[in-house]
Structure 1
Amino acid sequence: MTRKIALDPYVVDVLMRDLVGHDRTPSAFLVYLWLWARTDGGQRRFAASLSAIALETGLSKSSVQNSVRQLTTRRKLLAITRTGATNPPVYEVLTPWVRVQT
């Protein structure tokens, strides 16, 4: 089944270049895109294990683990909530470049 997702132009125009070219972490960009699609561009949260993300993206589990670390700690593009020791983490895609209208 093919489905369409809308990407914020910033993701392709700036974030891709930053993660792939500058940080040399193309796997982080793939993980971010995969989570972007699952969260409808950050509109909702999504629970997934590292193994599930690895399987779906074609990356190794250690690459996904390093990517998630890069996206949460260094780039602040993901927020993770853990609901229990045996439950998969819940990911929230952050879009710090978007200003909230008040």
Structure 2
Amino acid sequence: MTRKIELDPYVVDILMRDLVGHDHTPSAFLVYLWLWARTDGGRRRFAASLAGIALETGLSKSSVQNAVRQLTNRRHLIDVTRDGPTTPPIYQVLKPWVRAPAAG
């Protein structure tokens, strides 16, 4: 079954160039896209193991681990939490370029 995902233009116009060209981490861009699709563009959270992401993206587990580290610690583009020590991480895609409406 083919499904359609809608990307924010920022993801293709700016983020791709930053991660692939500037940071030299195309795996981080691929993982971000994969998570974007699984979280409906950040509208929900998604649990997945590193091995599961590796299998789905075609990357090695260590490449996924480095990509998650890049997206979490350096770029702050995803949030990762855990419900417990033996559960898979829960991912939330962040969109720091989208400003929340001002309260007032």
Which bracket does the TM-score occupy, shorter chain normalised?
A: over 0.9
2:64 aligns with 64
State the partner residue of 1:96: 96
User: 1:9 matched to which residue of 2?
Assistant: 9
Separation (CA, whole Å) in 2 of partners of 1:27 and 1:81: 21
Structure-2 residue corresponding to 1:44: 44
The 4+ residue runs of structure 1 with deviation greater than 3 A are: none
- Separation in structure 1 between the aligned mates of residue 38 and residue 80 of structure 2, nearest angstrom: 14
Question: Residues of 1 paired with 2:72 and 2:85: CA distance?
Answer: 19
Report the equivalent of 1:32. 32
The SS at the match of 2:24 is coil
% identical aligned pairs: 79
Q: Match of 1:83? A: 83
RMSD over aligned Cα atoms? 0.5
Residues 41-63 of structure 1: per-residue CA shift (max 9 Å, x gap)? 00000000000000000000000
Aligned to 1:73: 73
| Structure 1 CA distance for aligned equivalents of residues 41 and 2 of structure 2 | 17
Counterpart-to-counterpart distance in 1, 2:28 and 2:73:
12
Q: TM-score, normalised by structure 1?
A: 0.99
Q: Which secondary structure state, in structure 2, belongs to the residue aligned with residue 88 of structure 1?
A: coil
Distance between the aligned counterparts of 1:97 and 1:43, measured in 2? 15
What one-letter code is carried by the residue in structure 2 that aligns with 1:55?
L
Q: TM-score, normalised by structure 2?
A: 0.97
SS at structure 1 position matched to 2:30? helix
